[in-house]
Structure 1
Amino acid sequence: MAEGTPVTPTAPIMPTAPPASSMEQGSLPPSPTSPRAKRKSSTEHSLLMCDVCLEMYDNVQHIPKLLLCHHSFCESCLHKLIGTKDYFECPTCRQMTTMPSGGVSSLQTNFYITYMRDVLINNTVDQPMIVQSGEGCIKHSNQPLSFFCKQCNIAICRDCTVLDHKEVDGHAVQDTWDALNELHNTLTSEVNNARTIMKTVECYIQTLEGEVTNLYGAKEAAIKDIDSAFTQYITLLETRKQKLFLDVNAMYNDKVLILQRHAEDIQEKIINLNTTLDNMPTESTTDDSTLDTDNKENVPSYNPATTGISDLIIKRSKISDTTKHIEKLMSSHRVPTKNYIQFDSQQGVYGFQNALNKLGVLLSEKSLPSIVEISAHPATAGLPSQATVSVYDCKNTPLPKYAITADITDPWGDSIETSTLENDNGTYNVTYKPQVSGDHRIDVKFLGYIIKGAESVISVSSNNPVALIGQKGSEDGEFLCPRAVAIGNDDNIYVADTGNCRIQKFSPDGNFLSQFTVTSDGENNSTCDLAIDQKSNLIICTEIFAYGSSPSSGNTVKVYTSDGHLKHEHTNKTLKCALCVACNSKGGVIISDYIVNSLFMYNGNGTHVKKIGKYGAQSGQFNHPAFMCTGPHDYIIVTDTDNHRIQIFDDTGEFLFEFGTYGTGKGQFRQPFGVTTDSNHILVADSGNKRIQVFKMDGTFVSIIDSQGMPLNHARGISVTNDGHVLVADRDSHCIKKYKYM
């Protein structure tokens, strides 16, 4: 082979270590275990090899394909890893990549890897890269290619630097590994720049796709507007048509009336004329023979004095007047002569056509939303929350007064009701009330259509206690298995401290005020519930025999003053376990018997009025009824604990409706206990699910207080304050927990 003749490349050029001192020129290349060979192998692996199969990238079977996460793998490996799936998890970063419709082959080829490979094994822009055979310089006895000429873009040996690539001749020579590192750094910079450009392009493509989506929404909205407008136009045309119908009929009736009246006038004169003519002498009585004066002697009855000359004159005059009047009527100008009714459509059509040409104008002068930013304010389950949506066109110009709305979906997959307020500056406040905690998805809409890419995740925090009252113990302000809490008309808080056999009183902010014992004949007598008569502020509670925290029997109701003085008590031996109590606006008392599975109604005088229900699962039946409260119209609301539902009765005890089933979903229960109401809501202590649920008065689910930061532990009685808080007697946490729920 002639000196300097180009050689077809068969493998990528990689630098080699210089020979050891004992090696002669033309000897074998250094061992692959040498430091320089290891560096060479590492570089090849990181730059030109697939991380899965460790094969060198090529342009046939191992084509480098670029994933969305910007990691590359060969096409062959991707085919094996993906199989028949339409998505792929990157082996390096685990990011999911959805396969395009064309499969792996349609993924973007990583041209920067192929470019680097071409730089190493092919010719460059203007100057061919001379690839030496083997690992040495073909011009100088296979000497190691330890240097690189930047001007010639070629790997050279030591002799080349002296003979053919002198620095004095303008050649820039550097160590081969320095050249490779420089090339690697340059390539890395180019790759990073390309990735940045790709991200920018992806964002731009998303913007364009969003424009297409928004354009479709604008088109659909325009079609609806056109349809609505033309429906109105048609209505107006129909109204105009009916008006013309009325006008035609009115014109016809007016003309007919005039003609008929004129004809009647003439007819009346004709009748008069006929009557006059009928009374005139006939031709037989007035012929010439009768009136012939020459023959008067032949008419014995003729007497000029009696022939009625004056009558004839009068009749003649009457006939003359009548005929003249008839002629006058017939020639009268009061009679319309232009009675032809026509509809001139030509003039109307011309004007209508001109109007139609101007009827509605299609405009394309406003920009579509292209950039949407979503900023979510801190959100808590059950409380009103807000997110701010900023909308811009493709030039970052704010877009105010656009039809922007939002959909919010909670972790259960349910849509949350939202309302949107425009701020006149391109920002929109989206107000919503999350029902549960967890990640919520917000999708921004334009004209009712979701803007592509305009989405975000809102993290909704658990509704945790804002305050605690008490702790486990027997001192003042401490509790042992508290089971009920009530609010007096003085806003003070009363707690049934069951384990300590007492009722404790606290100020509205939770400071201990006083306490009194609920017992009469032994330390095991206590109470599981209490109710406050809002008129008299009397404390009504049941006395039960409690072993530890579990009630077993009781048939007595006690009434105390607000400072703890026993006013009176009532015992009913029909009761087996009088567990809970409620009072209505009339002073009546309702008691739930946990064992008899019934409610007992008493009037304000303590007289038993009615027994409600029995054991069973039908409507109006119970399986361990527990806490109660009274709502609007003195309706009785009771937790049917082991039927896992809420039942509502009217003020006479007649069943109205129920809601709830067994389960962990929204509106479902696992042993509900405490129940209370405000003016618009029913709140239930869903004890088995360790949460409080809020409902509308008709049983429609509203929200959940899940208290994940401080879980409920057998929640029992609950009560609401006037400022939107609910107090929960958390039995096995030995405290009262206070939550904000509205």
Structure 2
Amino acid sequence: MPQLPHIHLQITMSYYVSTSAIKDLLTECPICTEHFDEATRTPRRMPCCVQSICEACLETHSRGRLAISCPMCRHQHNLPGGVKSLPKEPVILRILDNLKIVKGLNLPRTDCTDGNPAMSKCDDCVAFLCQECLNAHKRVKTLRDHHTVSFQEMKEGPSKNFHRVHKCAQHHLPLQFYCNTCDKIVCVSCTVVEHKEGKGHNVVPVDDAHQERAKSIEDTLAKLDQKSEKLLEAEKDLQKRYSGIEESTKVAVVDINTAFDKLMDKIQQRRAIMLSEVEEKSSNLLKLTQEELDSTRTILTKVTSSTEYTRQMRGKADKIEDIQVMESSAATLSAMLELSPKASLGRAGVSFASTCFSKITTFLKMAGLVKSVVFTPIENSNPDDSLNNAITFEHAEVPQAAYMTGLPLGVKGSISCK
């Protein structure tokens, strides 16, 4: 989104910060990626995953329901007071105030009845002051030693020196104490009412509570750093394993295809041989049958033509001529009775016997073996070393067909086909 002119920002964005001003800061909602502000996109801290999400996104996500799942980690929350009951993120709001000063935008006024623009800040009171309030502040005897800083000085100093007013929502007094019993930051009025020590509440100054909890959180963060290192190593190992599985899968696929292509070549060669044998045997049988057929046809032609000729001649001859025909043809006709074709083959043909095919099918069921090696976690007595793994082997199941041959696995043998 193009940046608007600076003058336009001063007029229309008194409670907003330009994109360029916060591009390096964590002031962007992780859901809508819009920048936080104090108007509609107030940063609300999610207690489940230590993330801040703008109020507008949470309202959209909750759809007015009092139960909401965190948009980041899906943890369920019951919010009787709605989204607004989630705490604001004070650090982000403080960064926004500091950026407003740096960019010259209007700032919230503190305890100024006239609503004059703030010009400076009191570090002791943690309050913004207009010029008139600053003058009055310096005239009060008890406040003369307070350290005040002008906005110009704040612009030139580091942002970490910028402080935001933290007041009790109930009594509107500075939050200066911490109740260990209730785990709540309170003001001085709270210590004598709701969090009174006489009622069993353990109240300490904020500085003491901060020191104690800072040590605890630093220890936790240090352990999380160690855990992050282990998780990073685990991530690298898992990524390496993932890549290895992908690569080994490709190799296995190539090996399987190669093995079966070779097997198919052998099968095709065997088929070609058998088809050639069929052609050869069929050709021989057909040749013999054709010779027998030709011989039979020759004799048939001779017999039928001779008998027909004899009958026709006798039909036209008188008795004397008939006797002469019969005497001249009797021997020839009698000889024809002895004529026979070449030796008959009887029934002939070519057939295919699928000898050993059932055993070949059995062997195909166990042709090849796919194996895998699995790394499984084991119980460890050291809870801080939970990422250690033990190497175990998952043996691939041998197909049942392997046992149907009657031969031990791994032992060479021969099978005869009858």
Shorter-chain TM range is: 0.3 to 0.5
More strand, by proportion: 1
Structure with more helix by fraction: 2
State TM-score, norm by structure 2: 0.40
The TM-score, its normalising length taken from structure 1, stands at: 0.25
